Amino acid sequence: MPTSEQVLKQLNQQGIKNINEIHFNLGTAALYEHAIRRREGSLSHLGPLVVRTGSHTGRSPNDKFITKEPTSDHNVWWGKVNTPMEEAKFEKIYAKMLAYIQGKDLYIQDCYAGADSKYKLPIRIITEKAWHSIFARNIFRQYKDQSELEASSPEFTVIDMPGFHADPEMDGTHSEVFVILNFGKKLVLIGGTHYAGEIKKSIFTTLNYFNPLEKVMSMHCSANVGKEGDVAILFGLSGTGKTTLSADPSRRLIGDDEHGWSDNGVFNYEGGCYAKVINLSKQAEPEIYETTRKFGTILENVAMDNESRRLDLDDDTLTENTRAAYPLTHIDNIVPEGMAGHPKNIIMLTADAFGVLPPISKLTNEQAMYHFISGYTAKVAGTEAGVTEPKATFSTCFGAPFMVLHPTVYAELLGEKIIKHNVKCWLVNTGWTGGAYGVGKRMSIKYTRAMLNAALTGKLDNVETYVDPFFNLIVPKTCEGVPAEVLNPRNTWADKNKYDETAKKLANMFIENFAQFADSTKGKIISSGPNKF
């Protein structure tokens, strides 16, 4: 392990000086002691550390900036997602943060992101909170070999100071919260928020910038591998079942959220999971449930009885976004090395609350790129004020807030790899059937698992299909364990005219959303989308 003098010298080179005490790469047990002594969290029944994040119980996407500097300016897809900050403003905030740090205790974790040794990114997480240091240990990959740690040198640094708040008028931020990435300096500054997810996603955003430039596909997805070594990737936005469906007892979990795809295969960026736990039950999610009963798990904003120290996972008083951060080793049936071969199947999940998309469809290569760029799902009525019918959500590449390059860069890279490795692609609707939300019902998880297993095992490769007249999707007519009428969504609706009307409406939404990519997308991809009505 580097000596205190070596670490101090490295910090001084970054302008971090006059530190009270440095706590470098402390283990989880020691960090527990610090966090409890400093009243940052409370010990719960069976050992998890329960913490509160204050007013910020989720990410602050409107407070994220990318520094506009010469090395990256020409690559970044500037716009609503990637908001520029001038270098001078970055330097000003950085100087103020360095002044804030003086005299404080610092917790430092040296770890890395990326299980593929050729593409791993050594990172240093510097924070004023002991529990944020545990979070970093849980989420990122740890050096197992002492000599490897000693030989490592951080290439990217995250400085996380929740107690330091920006002055929007003086600093050019949108609020007192800020997350600023500087690819030239290989530095991230986070302030004004205790929500630890900002640390995780800042590194994911960083990998989404650097990896594709090396022809490594960066993906917001889960991944698992079967007994025959067949890898499956599952893309999907929140609420589509990505975590649930990837946790298959017959397949080993590579990871549940962020991955790269190199010439060596699929690899997990992380060493842990950051799962939503609201309404978590032992029956529905037994493995994730058990992590809420293990030492080392960080529980954000989860309700706890102060006397018995027992948890109430159904209590959303503080937020619906209650979270558990735990190392992958808390789960059985994993791929400990975090890496497997090239995928045989890619699954794109959507929860269509309009109830008109087929429950499973085979995608051509061009359709796969179209739906990857679209990143569609639909929120149900009532999830937002004033929403009385399903609301379409398009998040490009199934992770728009973290994509730094133009979406077509990721789509074309994905397309190249699909062709090179002869990957089968599927669109799976885990949403509604028999009508839109409020009329129909949610697709049976039993049927979804049956369809997914049939796709992964090749049982759908040679069945008879039909082409959906609205979305141009190739739909199987039969699937073992699934009633035939379920496979054709129109057959599940009592009002066929209403189905046609709703399907046309959603098809046009796809087309309207994709128009923004028309000038930068090849014509064959555009023509692979739904029909216009």
Q: Which residues are marked as active site?
A: 59, 201, 220, 238, 242-243, 257, 323
In whole angstroms, what is the distance from residue 392 CA to residue 390 CA?
7
Q: Are 199 and 340 spatial neighbours (Cβ–Cβ below 8 Å)?
A: no
* Helix 130-139 × helix 28-37 angle, to 10°: 150
Using DSSP, state whether 274 is helix, strand or coil. strand
* Residue 348: count of CB within 10 angstroms of its CB: 25
Which sign does the torsion angle of CA 235, 238, 241, 247 carry?
positive
Taking alpha carbons only, the member of 208, 204, 293, 298 closest to residue 257 is: 204
Written as six digits, the tokens of 213 are: 């430039």
Written as six digits, the tokens of 190 are: 């986070």
Tell me how long the chain is.
533
Q: Are 307 and 254 spatial neighbours (Cβ–Cβ below 8 Å)?
A: no
For 294-339, the three-class secondary structure string (H helix, E strand, C coil) is CCCCEEECCEECCCCCCEECCCCCCCCCCEEEEEHHHCCCECCCCE
Can you say whether residue 453 is alpha, beta or left, with left for phi > 0 and alpha for psi between -120 and 50 degrees? alpha
- Beta-carbon contacts of residue 328 (< 8 Å; ≥ 6 apart): 253, 255, 268, 270, 271, 272, 273, 334, 336, 338
Can you say whether residue 337 is alpha, beta or left, with left for phi > 0 and alpha for psi between -120 and 50 degrees? alpha
Can you say whether residue 100 is alpha, beta or left, with left for phi > 0 and alpha for psi between -120 and 50 degrees? alpha
Q: Are 20 and 43 spatial neighbours (Cβ–Cβ below 8 Å)?
A: no
